[in-house]
Amino acid sequence: MSAGGPLPSYSLSVEQAGGIAVASPWPFELTHEWAFAESTGAGVRVCVLDSGIDPGHPAVGSVERSMAVDADEEGYAQIVEDDSGDAYGHGTACAGIIRSLAPEATLTSVRVLGRDNRGSGGAMVAGLRWAVDEGFDVINMSLSTTNTDLRAYLYEVADSAYFRRTLLVASAHNMQVKSWPWRFSSVISVGSHDDPDPLRFFYNPVPPVEFFARGIELDIAWLDGARITASGNSFATAHMSGICALVLGKHPELTPFQVKSVLHLTAGNVAPAGAP
């Protein structure tokens, strides 16, 4: 997250998007109208793995469940009901973005970050396992870990989500460091762009980041009903999660592979086959 500072790594300007134009091999054009026009995200369950969600914020509305990762008496992670709201503000920001795009999607919060917007990789893995087991349609992960010891565990959970038809939408790190799970191919990885259109996104033909969504200089929800201006791949990820909720609200039969294909084919820089 950046408030008036340098742009996050894995970001691009709209002017740069023309330099990554991609021709589509498909014989017909998929459009935003086909993908999610008139969708509100109704029937789609979204889990926000973050610092918690403030359900009283006017940008968020109702939250179906609020959970947190806690340690039992022996120090093992457990998932418990949580009524403490948002410990930092980051989760509320992401939830508000998702709600703004998919107003009828249901939101569940899993708090894995604390008051300094930091948390253990183990808590993140435990929260993610719970969310996958609960069968959410979309899991927003505007966070990552650099802990290489957890890479194999995250890889296993990400694959499990993919095969269970759960979309993991994860933010690229704001700095040029290796972190996970956004680098896994089973995950929809997101960087940021500076176009003001919340429904505009771009496909990146040079992974590991796959898509760029709106994430620069945003007016976002924060603690105590407030709003702030900030930039970051976290908020681009929330935009992409909201778009995924719209697609699944209109086409609930799509698998994660198919949703990723739809996103590719409807990206702002991908031209249909035969287009000039």
Query: Which pairing describes strands 106-111 and 167-171: parallel, antiparallel, or unpaired?
Result: unpaired
Q: Is residue 21 part of a domain?
A: no
Structural domains of the chain, count: 1
Long-range contacts of the stretch 205-213 (C-beta < 8 A, 24+): 205/20, 205/22, 206/20, 208/172, 208/182, 208/183, 209/10, 209/172, 209/182, 210/260, 211/240, 211/263, 211/267, 212/10, 212/11, 212/12, 212/17, 212/236, 213/237, 213/239, 213/240, 213/243
Q: Is residue 25 part of a domain?
A: no
Residue 135: domain span = 46-269
Residue 168: C-alpha distances to residues 69, 129, 221, 237, 255 (Å) = 19, 12, 23, 10, 12
Which pLDDT score is estimated for 73?
59
Q: Is residue 12 part of a domain?
A: no
Q: Decide: 90 and 117 in contact? Cβ < 8 Å.
A: yes
Q: Is residue 8 part of a domain?
A: no
Identify the CATH number of the domain in which residue 262 sits: 3.40.50.200
Q: Is residue 18 part of a domain?
A: no
For the whole model, what pTM was predicted? 0.90
The pLDDT tens digits along the chain (276 residues) read 666 677 888 888 888 888 888 776 665 778 999 999 999 999 999 999 999 999 999 999 999 999 999 866 566 788 999 999 999 999 999 999 999 999 999 999 999 998 888 888 899 999 999 999 999 999 999 999 999 999 999 999 999 999 999 999 999 999 999 999 999 999 999 999 999 999 999 999 998 999 999 999 999 999 999 999 999 999 999 999 999 999 999 999 999 999 999 999 999 999 776 555
Distance CA 121, CA 131 (A): 15
Q: Is residue 5 part of a domain?
A: no
Which pLDDT score is estimated for 14?
85
